């Protein structure tokens, strides 16, 4: 049994043999009321258990933000304010359901699911179809929603860190608002604040992201220029944070979360930020060593898949070797859907632990 626990909704599901059996409709998190939130978590898992034809062997699920995941103790979480002072959530659920309980970060499990069955095999499959020898083994996942989460998978292994705080990308410095961390702009409220600033209205009057997207696309009445600028600022902020992380990761980036549905409005600015230029005394230098591509853009996808390799001579030999002088990274959207990726990642994480 799995759960994607967000600051707004709790999304439950069940997985068997690596296949999703079903999802339950989202249950409100009631994130500021600990007793209500714990009750909703138990009731959600009870509903899943009642629908199963065989008893569950484990519970594995995602929580936003760093905490003591190995012991199942939730520390202070900004997007779930009811959890304060250490809440033994894992032990509580183990006692109630009588099965092992595994908890991990939502960004980590999203990245794990996309690395196993989503974006990473999708891109490598496209490269194989194109006749390219290039393959990717490193995947960074980021989620855009109530918060800004991240996860990293390298060669099939999920990176956690010594304090279960690896890949907390939301804590990077914010390019457009340096006094804030990036999550405060790369989130639902960050997008609303960008819109309010561009439209010259109070933050409280700014609509939710779906409405802003509709305004930007001309589907709803409103300040279209402000809506487009809000999403552009979001893309630039997120792209700058990804570029900072990619200097250490060097691989693919997959994007999920509730705001990702408006990707056409922010992906161009995001990839432009990844391809940004630093001025130096010797002239401009690329932000990243590799060129970044937007795989949701058909033209950029075609260029990314193209083979630029050539034969070069081996010194002091009559032989040649094949060499591709281009280095490429890319960003694109979840291929499974965020909740399903988290569920697949949670399942795989539990199976790994139970197999030890």
SS3 141: strand
DSSP classification of residue 69: G
Residue 164's pLDDT is 75
Pick the CATH number of 119-335 from 3.40.50.300, 3.30.420.40, 3.30.70.3280, 3.30.43.10: 3.30.420.40
Q: How far apart are CA 190 and CA 192, in angstroms?
A: 5
Task: Reply yes or no on whether the pLDDT at 5 is more than 90.
Answer: no
Instruction: Give the model confidence (pLDDT) of 262-300 as tens digits.
Output: 999 999 999 999 999 988 898 899 999 999 999 999 999
Residues in the chain: 356
**Residue range 115-131: mean pLDDT, rounded:** 97
* Closest C-alpha to 64, from 152, 141, 5, 151: 5
Locus of tokens 């032989």: 319
Report the DSSP beta bridge partners of residue 252: 139, 330
Mean pLDDT of 172-179: 94
**2-104 maps to which CATH number?**
3.30.420.40
- Confidence tier at 166 by pLDDT (50, 70, 90): confident
Model pTM score: 0.89
Asked if pLDDT for residue 201 goes beyond 90, the answer is yes
Q: How far apart are CA 305 and CA 318, in angstroms?
A: 30
Kindly tell me if the per-residue pLDDT of 114 is higher than 90.
Answer: yes
Q: What is the pLDDT of residues 333-348, one digit of tens each?
A: 999 999 889 989 999 9
A 10 A CB-CB count for 109 gives: 31
- For residue 25, report the phi and psi dihedrals to the nearest 5 degrees: -60, 145
Taking residues 233-243, report their average pLDDT: 97
pLDDT at 69: 85
pLDDT at 162: 85
Q: CB-based contacts of 182: which residues, under 8 Å, 6+ apart?
A: 148, 169, 170, 171, 172, 173, 174, 175, 237, 238, 240, 241
The answer to whether 37 touches 61, Cβ cutoff 8 Å, is no
**C-alpha pair distances (Å), 227 with each of 80, 176, 269:** 28, 17, 14
- A 10 A CB-CB count for 297 gives 16
Q: How many CB atoms lie within 10 A of CB 333?
A: 18
**Among the listed residues 256, 1, 287, 292, the one whose alpha carbon sits nearest the alpha carbon of residue 115:** 256
Q: Helix, strand, or coil here: 14?
A: strand
Interior angle at CA 20, CA 17 and CA 24, nearest 5:
140
**Averaged pLDDT for residues 225-248:** 97
- Is the torsion defined by CA of 35, 36, 37, 41 positive or negative? positive
Long-range (24+ apart) CB contacts under 8 A made by 32-35 are 32/81, 32/82, 33/82, 34/82, 34/83, 34/84, 34/87
Its sign, for the CA torsion 38, 39, 42, 47, is negative
Give the model confidence (pLDDT) of 316-332 as tens digits.
999 999 888 899 999 99
* Mean pLDDT over each residue of the chain, to the nearest integer: 93
Write down the number of H helices and E strands in the chain.
10, 16
Confidence of residue 356 (pLDDT cuts 50, 70, 90): low
pLDDT digits (tens, 9 = 90+) for 32-79: 899 999 999 999 999 999 999 999 999 998 887 667 888 899 888 777
Report in angstroms the alpha-carbon separations of 309 from 252, 253, 312, 335.
Answer: 20, 23, 9, 29
| Domain ranges in the chain with CATH number 3.30.420.40 | 2-104, 119-335
Q: Which H helix or E strand runs over 242?
A: helix 224-249
């Amino acid at each position: 049994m799995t759960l994607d626990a967000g600051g707004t909704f709790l999304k439950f599901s069940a997985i068997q043999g690596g296949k999703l059996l079903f999802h339950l409709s989202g249950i409100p998190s009631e994130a500021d009321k600990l007793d209500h939130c714990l009750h909703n978590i138990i009731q959600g898992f009870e509903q899943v258990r009642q629908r199963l034809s065989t008893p569950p062997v484990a519970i594995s699920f995602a929580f936003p933000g760093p905490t003591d995941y190995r012991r199942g103790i939730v520390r202070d979480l900004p997007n779930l304010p009811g959890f304060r002072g250490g809440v033994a959530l894992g032990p509580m659920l183990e006692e109630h359901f009588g099965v092992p309980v595994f908890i991990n970060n939502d960004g980590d499990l999203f990245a794990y699911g996309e690395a196993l069955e989503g974006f990473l095999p999708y891109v490598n499959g496209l490269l194989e179809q194109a006749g390219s020898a290039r393959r990717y083994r490193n995947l960074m996942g980021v989620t855009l929603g109530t918060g800004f989460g991240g996860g990293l998978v390298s060669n099939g292994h999920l990176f956690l860190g010594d304090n279960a705080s690896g890949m907390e990308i939301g804590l990077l410095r914010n390019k457009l608002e340096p006094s804030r961390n990036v999550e405060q702009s790369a989130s639902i409220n960050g997008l609303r604040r960008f819109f309010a600033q561009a439209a010259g209205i109070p933050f409280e009057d700014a609509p939710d992201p779906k409405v802003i997207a509709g305004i930007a696309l001309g589907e709803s009445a409103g300040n279209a220029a402000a809506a487009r600028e809000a999403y552009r600022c979001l893309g630039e902020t997120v792209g700058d944070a990804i570029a900072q992380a990619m200097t250490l990761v060097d691989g693919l980036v997959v994007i999920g979360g509730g705001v990702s549905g408006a990707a056409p409005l922010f992906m161009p600015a995001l990839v432009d930020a990844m391809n940004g230029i630093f001025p130096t005394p010797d002239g401009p230098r690329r932000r990243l060593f590799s060129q970044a591509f937007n795989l949701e853009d058909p033209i950029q996808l075609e260029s990314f898949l193209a083979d630029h390799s050539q034969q070069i001579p081996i010194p002091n030999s009559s032989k040649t070797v094949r060499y591709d002088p281009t280095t490429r990274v890319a960003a694109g959207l979840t291929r499974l859907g965020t909740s399903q990726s988290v569920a697949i990642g949670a399942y795989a994480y539990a199976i790994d632990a139970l197999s030890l």
